[in-house]
Amino acid sequence: LEMRLPQNLKFQQQAQEMAEYALRSAEAALQQNITSSDQITTLFDPAVTPGYAAPVLANGAKVLPFTPTDVDDRSGWTDANSVQVQSTNQDLAGRYVIEYIGRVGLPPLDIEDVDNRHYAFRITAIGYSFEGNNVGSASYLLQSTYTQPL
Protein backbone atom coordinates (compact mmCIF):
# COMPACT_ATOMS: atom_id res chain seq x y z
CA LEU A 1 0.00 0.00 0.00
CA GLU A 2 2.80 2.43 0.82
CA MET A 3 4.45 1.88 -2.58
CA ARG A 4 1.20 1.88 -4.60
CA LEU A 5 -0.06 5.25 -3.35
CA PRO A 6 2.97 7.26 -4.56
CA GLN A 7 2.87 5.47 -7.94
CA ASN A 8 -0.84 6.29 -8.36
CA LEU A 9 -0.16 9.93 -7.50
CA LYS A 10 2.69 9.99 -10.01
CA PHE A 11 0.51 8.54 -12.78
CA GLN A 12 -2.33 10.95 -11.99
CA GLN A 13 0.11 13.88 -12.09
CA GLN A 14 1.46 12.70 -15.46
CA ALA A 15 -2.06 12.47 -16.88
CA GLN A 16 -2.97 15.94 -15.60
CA GLU A 17 0.17 17.52 -17.03
CA MET A 18 -0.43 15.84 -20.38
CA ALA A 19 -4.04 17.09 -20.47
CA GLU A 20 -2.81 20.62 -19.77
CA TYR A 21 -0.19 20.23 -22.51
CA ALA A 22 -2.88 19.05 -24.96
CA LEU A 23 -5.07 22.02 -24.01
CA ARG A 24 -2.23 24.50 -24.62
CA SER A 25 -1.39 22.74 -27.90
CA ALA A 26 -4.99 23.23 -29.05
CA GLU A 27 -4.86 26.94 -28.16
CA ALA A 28 -1.59 27.30 -30.08
CA ALA A 29 -3.14 25.50 -33.07
CA LEU A 30 -6.02 27.98 -33.07
CA GLN A 31 -3.67 30.96 -32.91
CA GLN A 32 -1.56 29.62 -35.78
CA ASN A 33 -4.27 28.20 -38.04
CA ILE A 34 -7.18 30.62 -37.64
CA THR A 35 -6.21 34.11 -38.77
CA SER A 36 -9.45 35.06 -40.54
CA SER A 37 -13.11 34.21 -40.11
CA ASP A 38 -13.18 32.58 -43.56
CA GLN A 39 -10.94 29.79 -42.28
CA ILE A 40 -13.52 28.68 -39.71
CA THR A 41 -15.89 27.41 -42.40
CA THR A 42 -13.23 25.34 -44.13
CA LEU A 43 -11.24 24.12 -41.11
CA PHE A 44 -14.15 23.22 -38.84
CA ASP A 45 -15.53 20.39 -40.92
CA PRO A 46 -14.84 17.12 -39.06
CA ALA A 47 -14.88 15.22 -42.34
CA VAL A 48 -12.00 17.39 -43.57
CA THR A 49 -10.10 18.08 -40.34
CA PRO A 50 -10.50 15.45 -37.58
CA GLY A 51 -10.49 17.04 -34.14
CA TYR A 52 -12.20 20.22 -35.33
CA ALA A 53 -15.99 20.53 -35.31
CA ALA A 54 -18.71 23.15 -35.81
CA PRO A 55 -22.45 23.04 -35.13
CA VAL A 56 -24.40 20.88 -37.55
CA LEU A 57 -28.11 20.88 -38.37
CA ALA A 58 -29.95 18.00 -36.69
CA ASN A 59 -33.75 17.80 -36.53
CA GLY A 60 -34.07 21.48 -37.41
CA ALA A 61 -31.69 22.71 -34.70
CA LYS A 62 -27.97 23.41 -34.69
CA VAL A 63 -26.11 21.07 -32.37
CA LEU A 64 -22.47 20.25 -31.83
CA PRO A 65 -21.40 16.82 -33.07
CA PHE A 66 -20.38 14.13 -30.61
CA THR A 67 -17.32 14.95 -28.56
CA PRO A 68 -15.59 12.02 -26.84
CA THR A 69 -15.52 12.81 -23.12
CA ASP A 70 -15.62 9.40 -21.43
CA VAL A 71 -12.22 9.02 -19.79
CA ASP A 72 -12.84 5.31 -19.21
CA ASP A 73 -13.53 4.56 -22.90
CA ARG A 74 -10.28 5.17 -24.76
CA SER A 75 -11.71 3.73 -27.96
CA GLY A 76 -13.84 6.90 -28.25
CA TRP A 77 -10.70 9.03 -28.72
CA THR A 78 -9.37 8.22 -32.19
CA ASP A 79 -7.55 9.89 -35.08
CA ALA A 80 -10.95 10.23 -36.76
CA ASN A 81 -12.32 12.62 -34.10
CA SER A 82 -9.39 14.10 -32.17
CA VAL A 83 -5.81 15.31 -32.53
CA GLN A 84 -3.00 13.46 -30.75
CA VAL A 85 -0.13 15.34 -29.11
CA GLN A 86 3.12 13.94 -27.71
CA SER A 87 5.26 15.47 -25.01
CA THR A 88 8.74 16.54 -26.01
CA ASN A 89 10.65 15.10 -23.06
CA GLN A 90 8.75 11.87 -22.35
CA ASP A 91 6.60 9.38 -24.19
CA LEU A 92 3.39 10.79 -22.73
CA ALA A 93 0.33 11.16 -24.94
CA GLY A 94 -2.79 13.28 -24.98
CA ARG A 95 -5.58 14.25 -27.36
CA TYR A 96 -7.78 17.26 -27.98
CA VAL A 97 -10.95 18.27 -29.77
CA ILE A 98 -11.75 21.88 -30.75
CA GLU A 99 -15.37 22.91 -31.34
CA TYR A 100 -16.39 26.25 -32.82
CA ILE A 101 -19.32 27.49 -30.72
CA GLY A 102 -20.01 30.89 -32.29
CA ARG A 103 -19.47 34.58 -31.65
CA VAL A 104 -19.52 36.00 -28.12
CA GLY A 105 -20.57 39.44 -26.94
CA LEU A 106 -23.23 41.88 -28.02
CA PRO A 107 -23.69 42.42 -31.76
CA PRO A 108 -23.31 45.95 -33.13
CA LEU A 109 -26.40 48.14 -32.77
CA ASP A 110 -26.16 49.52 -36.28
CA ILE A 111 -25.74 47.36 -39.38
CA GLU A 112 -23.02 49.72 -40.61
CA ASP A 113 -20.92 49.27 -37.46
CA VAL A 114 -18.00 46.84 -37.46
CA ASP A 115 -18.72 43.57 -35.68
CA ASN A 116 -15.89 43.24 -33.14
CA ARG A 117 -17.22 40.20 -31.32
CA HIS A 118 -14.70 37.45 -30.60
CA TYR A 119 -14.98 33.93 -31.97
CA ALA A 120 -15.47 31.27 -29.29
CA PHE A 121 -14.16 27.71 -29.22
CA ARG A 122 -14.58 24.88 -26.72
CA ILE A 123 -11.47 22.75 -26.22
CA THR A 124 -11.71 19.30 -24.66
CA ALA A 125 -8.37 17.70 -23.82
CA ILE A 126 -7.42 14.37 -22.28
CA GLY A 127 -4.06 13.24 -20.95
CA TYR A 128 -2.79 9.77 -20.13
CA SER A 129 -0.10 8.51 -17.81
CA PHE A 130 2.76 6.33 -18.99
CA GLU A 131 3.42 3.10 -17.14
CA GLY A 132 6.35 0.99 -18.27
CA ASN A 133 6.25 0.96 -22.07
CA ASN A 134 2.47 1.42 -22.37
CA VAL A 135 -0.10 4.14 -21.95
CA GLY A 136 -1.11 3.92 -18.32
CA SER A 137 -4.46 3.54 -16.64
CA ALA A 138 -4.62 7.09 -15.27
CA SER A 139 -6.35 9.71 -17.41
CA TYR A 140 -7.32 13.33 -16.85
CA LEU A 141 -9.93 15.36 -18.72
CA LEU A 142 -9.96 19.16 -19.09
CA GLN A 143 -12.37 21.46 -20.89
CA SER A 144 -11.88 25.14 -21.59
CA THR A 145 -13.50 27.94 -23.55
CA TYR A 146 -11.16 29.97 -25.71
CA THR A 147 -11.99 33.24 -27.48
CA GLN A 148 -10.08 34.91 -30.25
CA PRO A 149 -10.58 38.13 -32.21
CA LEU A 150 -10.27 37.82 -35.97
Average pLDDT, the chain: 82
Amino acid making up residue 7: Q
CB atoms within 10 A of CB 23: 22
Name the residue with higher pLDDT: 128 or 25: 25
Q: What pLDDT score does 1 carry? A: 45
Q: Rounded mean pLDDT of 48-75?
A: 70
12-26, 42-56, 116-130: which range is least confident on average? Answer: 42-56
CB-based contact 119:103 (threshold 8 Å) = yes
Q: What pLDDT score does 125 carry? A: 92
Residues in the chain: 150
Name the residue with higher pLDDT: 129 or 2: 129
Is the pLDDT at 63 greater than 80? The verdict is no
Is the pLDDT at 38 greater than 50? The verdict is yes
Q: What is the pTM of this model?
A: 0.83
For 90-125, what is each residue's pLDDT tens digit? 667 889 988 888 889 888 888 888 888 999 999 999
- Local confidence band at 87 (pLDDT 50, 70, 90 cut-offs): confident
Q: Which of 76, 78, 81 is nearest to 64 (CA)?
A: 81
CB-based contact 146:28 (threshold 8 Å) = no
Percent of the chain with pLDDT over 90: 24
